[in-house]
Amino acid sequence: MALLEARNLTKYFGGLAAVNRVDITVNAGEIVGLIGPNGAGKTTCFNLLSGFLPPTAGSITFNGEALVGLKPHHIVKRGLVRTFQLTTLFLDMTVLTNVLLGLHLSSQRGFGRVLLSLRSFPREEITRTHEVLEFTGLAPYADELAKNLPHGRQRTLGIAMALAARPLLLLLDEPVTGMNLDESQQVMNLVKTIRDRGTTVLLVEHNMKAVMGTCERIVVLNFGEKLTEGTPSEVGSNRAVIEAYLGSGGEHA
C-alpha cells in the first residue's frame, strides 16, 4: 500500500522548472532512493514533500491525507519527518538536548501546552531519548555539545532527532555524504535497522555504493524530470542513467 504518493509534482522557480511532473510512490516498509546528478531537483523534491516549499502544481498524499498547503510543523505531526543536508543541528546544545527537543517539539500538541507546562521534561520523554541515543550509538556522547562531535556523529545526530519525532516516513537528505567508508556503512546499517523497526525511508544520496547497497527501489531524476525507476540492478544498467551521470559523449566510458 502506498504510504506516500506524489503525482505530477511540479515546481517552477521563475521560468525554470526545478521539478517537472514527477511521480513518486513510496510503499510502507520500503527503503527508496532518490538519485540524480547535481541540480536534478532532489532536494527541491524533499522541500516540496515536507512542506518547506509549496508546489506549483501536483498533489501529495501521505497516509491517505493530502499534504499540499500544510505547513512543515503540521506535516511532522502526521508522521513525515525530514533531515537536512550538511549539519543542521542545535550546535550549542548537548546531544541529549538535541534529541530531547526532537522528541518533545514533535509531540507538542500546541502553543498552549508549552505555556501551561513550564516544568522541565517529563520522565518518559527522557527515558525515550536515552533509548534513541542507545539505538543510534550516540549514548557515549550524550553530554557533549553538538558542535564538538565528529562529522559522522553529527549526521547521525540529525537522524536521531528525526527518529525521536516518531516518523512513519523518514526523509533523509544525503545522510552519508562526506563520510568515509566505515562511517557510511554504519549509517546505512542504521537505516536498515530503522526500516526493520517499522519506519519507511526515502533518501537522497550521491554515494552510489551506499544507495545501491541499501535501497530496494531507486527513482532517478535528471533536469527536474523522472528519468527512470527500478531496482538497483535495473537502474545501474540503464543506458539513460549512465548517460545522465557520465555524459553521452562516449569518450568518458
Partner 1 sequence: MKSKIGIAVVLLVVVVLALFLPNFGGRYYTQIFVQVLINIMLAASLRPSLLCGQLNIGHSAFMAIGAYASALLAKNLGLPFELSLLFGGALSAAVGLIMGYPSLRLRGVYFAMVTVSFVEVIRLIAQLWVSLTRGMSGLSGIPKPSLLGMVLTTKASQYYLALGLLVIILLILYRLEYSRLGLIWKSIGMADNLSQSLGINVANYKLLAFTLGCFFAGVAGAYYASFFRFLFPPEFSFLLSVNILVYNFVGGRGHFIGPIVGAAFLTLLVEPFRGSAYETIFFSIAMLLTILFLPGGLITLPGKLAGLWSGSTGSAPATSAAT
Site for partner 1 in 49-78 (CB under 8 A): 50, 52, 71-73, 76-77
CA distance 133 to 154: 12
Which SS3 state, helix, strand or coil, does residue 240 take? helix
Q: For the chain, where are the E strands, in sequence order? A: 2-13, 16-27, 31-35, 57-62, 65-66, 80-82, 169-173, 200-204, 217-222, 225-230
| Per CB under 8 A, 168 contacts partner 1 | no
> How many other CB atoms sit within 10 Å of the CB of residue 185?
16
| Per CB under 8 A, 89 contacts partner 1 | yes
**Would you give the binding string for partner 1 spanning residues 132-151, x where CB under 8 A is met?**
-------------x------
Q: Which of 1, 15, 64, 119 binds partner 1 (CB under 8 A)?
A: 119
Strands 31-35 and 65-66, sheet pairing: unpaired
Q: Which three cell numbers stand for residue 193?
A: 535497522
Q: Using the minimum distance from each CB to partner 1, give the nearer residue, 52 or 223.
A: 52
Write phi, then psi, for 20 (nearest 5 degrees): -130, 110
CA distance 70 to 75: 6
| Per CB under 8 A, 217 contacts partner 1 | no
Please choose, out of 24-32, 157-165, 209-217, 223-231, the segment that lies near partner 1 by the rule CB under 8 A. 157-165
CA distance 77 to 152: 28
Kindly state the number of chain residues that form the binding site for partner 1, as judged by CB under 8 A: 38
Q: Using the minimum distance from each CB to partner 1, give the nearer residue, 68 or 101.
A: 101
Strand-pair partners of 219: 34, 229
Please choose, out of 9-17, 119-127, 196-204, 211-219, the segment that lies near partner 1 by the rule CB under 8 A. 119-127
Q: Which of 102, 149, 214, 241 binds partner 1 (CB under 8 A)?
A: 102
Question: What is the 8-class DSSP label of residue 220?
Answer: E
Chain residues in the site for partner 1 (CB under 8 A): 50, 52, 71-73, 76-77, 81-84, 88-94, 97, 101-102, 104-108, 111, 114-115, 117-121, 145, 161-162, 165
